Amino acid sequence: NAGVMQNPRHLVRRRGQEARLRCSPMKGHSHVYWYRQLPEEGLKFMVYLQKENIIDESGMPKERFSAEFPKEGPSILRIQQVVRGDSAAYFCASSPQRGTYNEQFFGPGTRLTVL
Amino acid sequence: AQTVTQSQPEMSVQEAETVTLSCTYDTSESNYYLFWYKQPPSRQMILVIRQEAYKQQNATENRFSVNFQKAAKSFSLKISDSQLGDTAMYFCAFMKLDTGTASKLTFGTGTRLQVTL
């Protein structure tokens, strides 16, 4: 069973461009979380999605950021008109269906660099 | 809202020795989980140990154990017989237990542990 996959692992964008980060959860997992790790900081929650639904987006910046998890295909975190402050590592985690407790399994992260 | 505080930005320990990493948290929740994650230079997040708040017994996983003091809202990690492969950033994390649904993790700022010869 393959783990959580994220691509690309490294992404370089110029200011004003769009960044698309992809996350394929583990097989059988229907919950996806996105976290952002700024340099020398801990991970901060951005958004929690189930298939075709955003459950909690309390950590998402109000502008330029969006996320989706379609019925088919990976979850996408999209950042429009990137700025230097968006440079960070973006981690995706997945967990199985709802339950009392479900461990979140992390992907290797995508390191975004904005020039 | 929950907060997690790690007051030790960096720690160093000699191989085979024991080290304790500190973590405190603040919450008004009564049901929750606490975690320690390891992030080696590869940046992969690896779950080290988990503690359910309703359990009084401290969790243990091989060389890793925790000292969970619920009243003091303290959750320290003890690494025994430290190995060079333990060199990493260690993050303490909190998860509210929301019956029937998964929940987000709240992380501390991390402690960088260096194991030396």
Residue-level pLDDT at B99: 62
- Report the residue of B45, B47, B91, B97 to disrupt the A interface, i.e. the one with the largest count of A CBs within 10 Å: B45
pLDDT at A100: 59
Q: Output the pLDDT for position A40.
A: 80
pLDDT along chain B (117 residues), means of 10: 93 97 94 94 92 92 96 97 97 83 86 96
Question: What is the SS3 assignment for B101?
Answer: strand
- Rounded to whole angstroms, the Cα distance separating A56 from B104 reads 9
Q: How far is B111 from chain A (nearest CA, A)?
A: 10
Looking at residue B15, what is its pLDDT?
97
What does the block give as tokens for B2?
Answer: 């929950």
Residues 6+ apart with CB under 8 A from A38: A44, A88
Backbone angles phi, psi at A84, to 5 degrees: -60, -35
Residues within 8 A of B (CB atoms), A 2-31 only: 31
**Which residues of chain B does A4 touch, with a Cβ-Cβ cutoff of 8 Å?**
none
Six-digit token string for A73:
């295909």
Tokens of A69: 């998890």
The DSSP line for B5-35 is: E---SEEEEETT--EEE--EEE-S-SSEEEE
Of A63, A62, A36, A58, nearest to A47 by C-alpha is A58
Tokens of B75: 């959750």
| Mean pLDDT of successive 10-residue stretches along chain A, which has 115 residues | 89 98 93 92 93 91 95 95 96 80 88 96
For residue A59, list chain B residues with Cβ-Cβ distance below 8 A: 104
